[in-house]
A and B are shown apart, each in its own frame.
Chain A
Amino acid sequence: MADSVASHTTTGSTPGVTKRDFLQLTTTAFAAVGVGAIAWPFIGSLAPSKDVLALASTEVDISPIAVGQSVTVMWRGKPVFVRHRTAEEIAAARAVPLSELKDPAPDQSRIRRDPWLVVVGVCTHLGCVPLGQKSTDAKGDYNGWFCPCHGSHYDTSARIRKGPAPTNLEVPDYSFMSDRSIRIG
Chain B
Amino acid sequence: MGMGLHDSQVSNPVLRWIDQRLPVITMIQKEYGVFPTPRNFNYFWNFGALAMINLMIMIATGIFLAMNYTPHTAYAFDSVERIMRDVHFGWLIRYVHMNGASMFFVVVYVHIWRGLYYGSYKAPRELLWMLGVVIFLLMMATAFMGYVLPWGQMSFWGATVITNLFSAIPVVGPTIVTYLWGGFSVDNPTLNRFFSLHYLLPFVIVGVVFLHVAALHITGSNNPLGIEPKGPQDTLPFHPYYTIKDSVGIVVYLAVFAALVFFAPNYLGHADNYIPANPLVTPAHIVPEWYFLPFYAILRAVPDKLGGVVLMGGAIIVLFFLPWLDTSKVRSMRFRPITRIIFLLWTVNFFVLTWVGGKPAEQPYVLISQICTMFYFVYFLVVLPMMGRFEVVMKLPESISRAVLGAKASLGGGPIPGTAAAKPMEKA
| A residues lining the B interface (CB < 8 Å) | 1-2, 5-6, 9, 18, 20-21, 24, 40-42, 44-47, 49-52
Partner of A21, one of B64, B424, B428: B428
Provide the bound-state CA to CA distance between A136 and B427, in Å: 78
Give the number of A-B contacts (CB < 8 Å). Answer: 48
Q: Give the residues in chain B near A40, CB-CB below 8 Å.
A: 89
Q: How far is the CA of A175 from the CA of B257 in the complex (A)?
A: 49
Residue in B60, B67, B86 whose CB lies within 8 Å of A50: B86
Assess A2 versus B420: contact at CB under 8 Å? Given A45-B88, A45-B90: yes
Instruction: Show 6 A/B contacts (Cβ-Cβ < 8 Å), sorted by A.
Output: A2-B421, A21-B428, A41-B89, A44-B88, A47-B88, A50-B88
CA distance A52 to B87 in the complex (A): 9
Tell me whether B64 and A42 are in contact (CB under 8 A): yes
The reply to whether A2 and B424 contact each other, CB–CB distance below 8 Å, is: yes
Q: Is the CB of B64 within 8 A of A6?
A: no
For residue A130, give the distance in angstroms from its CB to the closest CB of chain B: 31
CA distance A178 to B287 in the complex (A): 59
Asked whether, in the complex, the Cβ of A5 is within 8 Å of the Cβ of B424, the reply is yes
Q: Interface residues of A: mostly helix, strand, loop or mixed?
A: helix
In the assembled complex, which residues on chain B have CB atoms less than 8 Å from the CB atom of A45? 64, 67-68, 87-90, 93
**Given known A2-B424, A20-B427, A21-B428, contact A49–B93 (CB-CB < 8 A):** no
Chain A residues, Cβ within 8 Å of B428: 20-21, 24
**Residues of the A chain whose Cβ atoms lie less than 8 Å from the Cβ of B64:** 42, 45
Question: Which one of A2, A5, A18, A49 contacts B86 once the chains associate, using CB atoms below 8 Å?
Answer: A49
Minimum C-beta distance from B173 to chain A (A)? 42
With an 8 A cutoff between CB atoms, is B425 at the interface? yes
Residues of B within 8 A of A44 (CB): 88-89
Q: Which residues of B contact A52 (CB under 8 A)?
A: 86
Give A24's nearest chain B residue, CB to CB.
Answer: B428
Q: B402 an interface residue at 8 Å Cβ cutoff? A: no
Q: Known pairs A9-B424, A42-B93. 11 more at Cβ < 8 A?
A: A20-B428, A40-B89, A42-B64, A42-B89, A45-B67, A45-B93, A46-B67, A49-B82, A49-B88, A50-B85, A50-B86
Chain B's interface size range is 10 to 19
Cα A52 to Cα B86 with chains together (Å): 8
Q: Residues of A contacting B138 with CB < 8 Å?
A: none
Top 8 nearest A-B pairs (CB, nearest first) are: A41-B89, A50-B86, A5-B424, A51-B86, A49-B86, A44-B88, A49-B87, A44-B89
A51 to B64, CA, bound (A): 17
Residue of A nearest to B247 (CB): A27
Bound-complex Cα distance A21 to B427 (A): 10
Is B93 touching A41 in the complex (CB atoms < 8 A)?
Answer: yes
What CA separation (Å) do A158 and B278 show in the bound complex? 53
CA distance A52 to B83 in the complex (A): 12
**CA A44 to CA B82, docked complex, whole Å:** 15
Among candidates A9, A42, A46, residue contacting B60 with C-beta atoms closer than 8 Å: A42
Collect the chain A residues with CB atoms within 8 Å of residue B319's CB: none
B contact residues around A46 at 8 Å (CB): 67
Answer yes or no: B92 CB below 8 A from chain A CBs: yes
Q: How would residues 148 to 163 of chain B score, 1 for a CB under 8 Å from any chain A CB and 0 otherwise?
A: 0000000000000000
Q: How far is the CA of A49 from the CA of B427 in the complex (A)?
A: 48
B60, B425, B428 — most chain A CB neighbours (10 Å): B428
**B93 cross-chain contacts in A, Cβ below 8 A:** 41-42, 45
Kindly provide the distance from the CB of B94 to the nearest chain A CB, expressed in whole angstroms: 10
Give Cα A44–Cα B86 distance, bound, in whole angstroms.
12
Q: Which residues of A contact B86 (CB under 8 A)?
A: 49-52
> Within 8 Å CB of B60, what residues of A?
42
User: Do A49 and B421 touch (CB < 8 A)?
Assistant: no
Contacts of B90 in A (CB 8 A): 45, 49
Cα A6 to Cα B67 in complex, Å, equals: 53
Residues of A within 8 A of B87 (CB): 45, 49-50
List chain A residues, Cβ under 8 A from B89.
40-42, 44-45
Chain A proximity of B419: nearest CB distance (Å): 11
User: In the complex, which residues of chain B have a beta carbon less than 8 angstroms from the beta carbon of A20?
Assistant: 427-428
- The residues of A that contact B425 with a CB separation of less than 8 Å are 5
Q: What residue of chain B has the Cβ atom nearest to residue A40's Cβ?
A: B89
The distance from the CB of B35 to the nearest CB of chain A, in whole angstroms, is 22
Within the assembled complex, what's the spacing in Å between the Cα atoms of A27 and B425? 17
A1 near B82: Cβ-Cβ < 8 Å: no
Question: What residues of chain A lie closer than 8 Å to B82, measured between beta carbons?
Answer: 49, 51
Please name all residues of chain A whose beta carbon is closer than 8 Å to the beta carbon of B85 when the two chains form the complex.
Answer: 50
